Structure 1
Amino acid sequence: MDTWTWGPLVLHQYLVIVLAAAAIGYGVLNLRLRRNPERAAISSAAMSGALIWLLVWKWGWVLTDIQSIWNNPQTLLYFSGGRYAAWLASAAAVIYVGISLERRKIGRPVYSDSLLAAILGGYVGYLALSAALGGKPSIAEISGAVLGIAILIVWLTGSRKFSPKVALQRMLLFGIGFAVLITVSDQLKDRGVNLIGGEGEIGLRVGQQAPDFTLSLLSGEEVKLSDYRGSVVFVNFWATWCPPCQAEMPYMQQFYTNNEKDRVVILGVNETQTEASLPVVKAWVEEWKLTFPIPLDRTGEVGKLYRVQAYPATFVIDEEGIIRQKHPGPMDEGMLESALRAIRGKK
């Protein structure tokens, strides 16, 4: 998986990119407001708004799946509220920042201009970092990043007269810039063109052929990844002692039950070399009533082959054996369904 490990600390690439993009946005905000007497107040409100967004997004999970939380409270530690909670968090953050700055009697043109510039800067940073760290950047990613940087430069070097007219012009630039970025990205992405070839090569990047492997099931029968060609396969690496694995297993089983007839397979690769004993694995499988195949990675070779450094970790593989998504950390049913729709929607 795309992770960095320092001792017991494991950082996922996606999280690093998001945090770095947020830092870039914050830097753009302060750059836009340099030498402005209101910079400290606006920066403080923006930071508080970001913290509110994070809290509402995280604890919005309570509103999206109350029954699961009631059955298994530890899910609160491992899942967020998802897309709907993100929208709710965005609304809460915008309302807070607006009220906070209005109370301080800071001019709307000043804070609206700088905050929009910060959002654009963060988004451009996200695009650029995704392209740089993705291994094989697509034309869509690179074009979006370059175009976004150009728009941001025009914004930051433009007039610093924060009048209502200038604020309106900036808002229009913001809207047009985002519309162009999204349109160009979608158009190029639909063509499926990459600057660097490699579609179908064996590897662990998205777009590459998943490395094949052969393992034994709990029943003793051998299973091979390539045997499932023609089905969408979720290869999930897990262990019984792993709390987030325990949290996601009910969702895995429910998802498998709902989609098994539509040629969807979950291969729950147990990292058996980390377990106390094989009977422990069997006991947990029976406790969770798992019906999908449980291959046993007795030596840990398959986990090493897939560079799994933290559990759980899931690779989503399409009908042709191509890796389409990678998910470090636990997945709930909504995330699993979304991953399946993303693959099926391309057909």
Structure 2
Amino acid sequence: MRKVLAIAFVLLCLGGKALAQLPSVTLKDINGKTVRTDTLSNGGKPFIIDFFATWCKPCNRELKAIHEVYPDWQEETGVKLIAVSIDQAQNINKVKPMVDEQGWEYEVLLDPNGDFKRALGIQMIPYVLIVDGKGNIVYKHNGYTDGAENELIEKVRELVK
């Protein structure tokens, strides 16, 4: 109990700004390659993790909106986006065709059992994380409204200053 109180005190002193690392979960990408989530990186630059599903309309609107500005984001900040599909096993075969049809050049991981999502405590999608160049989760956002991608790139710009 003392440890819990001590940790809570430290977190309060940090103003809730405790930096979390990515949990270690083994997933596959859309080409079948195994990926450990705690090794995700972008060569010392920030990256965005966007949880989505093929059936989630706000998720798809968000990824489409980002797709339109993604080359500019990459050129300006070097950021990369990793899209994580939470489609269940029976729908997993819909992910790659949708990604190809949309022309998304994101790295796409498959989380059909929700292991990565659960390890991060994510309840609802779309859900976006920004991870800094050191692997710390520095921003979290749930839901999507048109234009919300502008807040994402602003947070990334703050990290690369």
TM-score, shorter chain, exceeding 0.5: yes
- Report the Cα offset of residue 206 of structure 1: 4.9
- For the aligned residues, what is the CA RMSD? 2.4
Deviations 1:190-247 (A, max 9, x none): xxxx278xxxxxxxx7522222333211111223342415121111111011111121
Write the distance in 2 (CA, Å) between the matches of 1:280 and 1:242. 13
Q: Please report the TM-score for the alignment, with normalisation by the length of structure 2.
A: 0.78
- Report the Cα offset of residue 284 of structure 1: 1.6
Aligned ranges for residues 62-101 of structure 1 at < 5 Å? none
SS at match of 2:50: strand
Preserved CA contact (<8 Å) 2:45 2:160: no
Query: Alignment partner for residue 264 of structure 1, among 60, 75, 79?
Result: 79
| 1:343 has 2:159 as partner | yes
- Report the Cα offset of residue 312 of structure 1: 0.4
- Runs of 5+ consecutive residues of structure 1 not aligned to the other structure: 1-134, 139-193, 197-204
Q: Aligned letter for 2:32?
A: G
Preserved CA contact (<8 Å) 2:25 2:115: no
| 1:137 has 2:7 as partner | no
Write the distance in 2 (CA, Å) between the matches of 1:227 and 1:309. 22
Higher fraction of strand: 2
Write the distance in 2 (CA, Å) between the matches of 1:214 and 1:263. 25
2:36 maps to 224
2:109 maps to 295
Residues 242 and 297 of structure 1, relative CA distance in 2, 3 Å threshold = same
Higher fraction of helix: 1
Aligned ranges for residues 244-283 of structure 1 at < 5 Å? 244-261=58-75, 262-273=77-88, 276-283=90-97
Residues 264 and 242 of structure 1, relative CA distance in 2, 3 Å threshold = same
Larger Rg: 1
| Greater relative CO (CA pairs within 8 A, separation 6+) | 2
- Report the Cα offset of residue 276 of structure 1: 4.6
Preserved CA contact (<8 Å) 1:236 1:268: yes
Q: Please report the TM-score for the alignment, with normalisation by the length of structure 1.
A: 0.39
Moved over 6 A (4+): none
Write the distance in 1 (CA, Å) between the matches of 2:124 and 2:87. 14
Deviations 1:273-307 (A, max 9, x none): 2x652232122212221111110002211111111
Aligned ranges for residues 1-347 of structure 1 at < 5 Å? 136-138=11-13, 194=14, 206-225=18-37, 226-228=39-41, 230-261=44-75, 262-273=77-88, 276-330=90-144, 332-345=148-161
Deviations 1:103-142 (A, max 9, x none): xxxxxxxxxxxxxxxxxxxxxxxxxxxxxxxx9334xxxx
Identity %: 25
- Runs of 5+ consecutive residues of structure 2 not aligned to the other structure: 1-9
How many pairs are equivalent? 147
Write the distance in 2 (CA, Å) between the matches of 1:234 and 1:298. 20
